[in-house]
Structure 1
């Protein structure tokens, strides 16, 4: 019985009803489309934008949202669990920059390693990841409320 507890997540609907939801693999075209759109925006920012606001800040804000939609494309998990996982992953990558992981792995010559793992630690980046996570939670709550309102009518 204890083995299966790891596969369940406590969720709460907008009406306040708490239920256990099982983690399961799935495929969501909607989340895939959002992930592709966000990846395209991130790519365009990295490739074509060379300013002091959009490139350093918008990209960091959007990356957690991109990770979230990528996970939701393949895993049907509660919003809070998925947001927490995406945020934790982003924090881990940022902390790896603090410890110069790319250098320690001997990948300092790899452009891909610098793009994926980055090269400089910043607390501002972590704040932007957190803001991105908050945006997801707010947007998902608004979406759930709209859906609930539609079904009440």
Structure 2
């Protein structure tokens, strides 16, 4: 928790920070213990910077009865573009973001995949089992309503607490 506090205190005045992320693919994300842990982390972040929302990058556990998605402001989806609509239907008030979706392989400058050699065409055709190509991932995002985050984050009041380390 001390490391999280140092991070927020150090970076809270950076204009490029739009969300605080409290984890990436935490193994306990779909458990009660994970949810409790993240609630404490979110509370710590909010006590240091009440102007920004908190997210967590989830790759599992989104549909368990108690999970981390209920503890954050914005749910980060890692490699689960096919679950956007199902999750939104179950949790219509929770904003989601694509924290990681695409994991495509390619060899720069190659035009043809040769399977028996380590050569993969540079045309976004081959993806990892857990991910997808850029084209598929971007299409999944483009087909849904988007927000530019302005409605969530501006205007942000500048408090004395967020301006002083």
* TM-score, with structure 1 as normaliser: 0.29
* TM-score, with structure 2 as normaliser: 0.28
Structure having greater relative contact order (Cα 8 Å, sep ≥ 6): 1
Higher strand share: 2
